[in-house]
Amino acid sequence: MKLIITGANGFIAKNLITELRNRGYNDLFEYTRKTSLADLDEYCKKADFVFHLAAVNRPKDQSEFMDGNYGFTSQLIELLKKHNNNCPILVSSSTQAALDNPYGISKKAGEDIIFKYGKETGAKVLVYRFPNVFGKWCRPNYNSAIATFCHNISRDLPIKVNASSVVMNLVYIDDVVEELINALNGNENNKGHLCEVPVVHTATLGEIVEKIKSFKISREERTIPNMSDQLTKKLYSTYLSYLPEKQFSYDLKMNEDHRGSFTEFIKTPDRGQVSINISKPGITKGNHWHHTKNEKFLVVSGEGVIRFRRIDSEDVIEYYVSGQQLQVLDIPTGFTHNIENIGNTDMVTVMWANEHFDPNRPDTYFLEV
């Protein structure tokens, strides 16, 4: 299947092209401003489907809006007509097409000529009025507030928020790409005259800024946002894609003594925290119990034994653990427990607790196993 993608260097197109190739679509005609008219003519002769994603949105002169968003669209359909190619054509428009401004007027004119072309030729035409699209590979400090916020906040650069109460309708790039590929396969989300991306998120500008700022802070506090909220999940993925390349890593605080170390790795708002415990050979840690706090231990390197004793019993239970056989041990409430390194090397244990450590209410009581 031969596909034309106009605006191939743009944000949406780059993500679409990448996923098309992932799914085995390799016969792609990628049109950019550097592509010759002769090549475009040949593309229009052979194409089985057209993704018309090219657009002008930040011109030096306002006349370029009509030249790019209407003029180029006219040129494209004339080339298709020339070759009697009535293949489907999908057009990325904008919610701005409903507004009376130079950009919106040019996008509406592009829509109108596409719909007229569909009626004249019988070609299937699909028009999507995208709201604010966000995600990886979008150019910051250009025409995307979220890309700008992510880029600048991650670098401690200033941002400008004119009205934090403004409500934004947002679509995530992966949801856009999925819908475009569905449309390619004849399964578009058609809402009558126009098509839509099914998943649209709504938030105020102020809420978005605060979320992105919290992502930066989360690296310092070793926290992870609540990923059950889909907008938060997608914004967090977007934010990470804008990190400076020299700042992918960040240090953790290792609490060290002669026995080894204990380091908090991740804290979540609702799923507890994960820590890394390192024990030197011959060292025993623990000898305490909890009322409500519960834990999971996973030894990933070295050898050890984890012992349990119900606090009202003399019976000791032992589990031998090793990085050679990964095994998770639940640490029940009401059982005092310890972990001893019985090997010749450091023993590394991944520990999960169902709650963050609270020094005011540690729920930890010393008692020898």
What contacts 293, CB < 8 A, 6 or more positions away? 333, 353, 354, 355, 363, 364
What is the Cα–Cα distance from 361 to 369, expressed in whole angstroms?
A: 22
Q: At what angle do helices 37-46 and 72-82 cross, to 10 degrees?
A: 50
User: Phi-psi region for residue 149, left (φ > 0), alpha (ψ -120 to 50) or beta?
Assistant: alpha
Helix (H, G, I), strand (E, B) or coil at 366: strand
* Pairing relationship of beta strands 303-310 and 317-322 according to DSSP bridges: antiparallel
Amino acid at residue number 281: P
Q: What angle do CA 242, 137, 149 make, to 5 degrees?
A: 45
What is the Cα–Cα distance from 87 to 266, expressed in whole angstroms?
A: 51
What is the Cα–Cα distance from 89 to 215, expressed in whole angstroms?
A: 39
- Is 25 labeled as catalytic in the residue annotation? no
The residues with which 353 forms a beta bridge, in sequence order, are 273, 295
Structure tokens at 170: 């947002």
What is the Cα–Cα distance from 49 to 29, expressed in whole angstroms?
A: 10
Give the active site residue among 31, 43, 70, 103.
103
Contact of 321 with 303, CB cutoff 8 Å: yes
- Catalytic residue numbers read 103
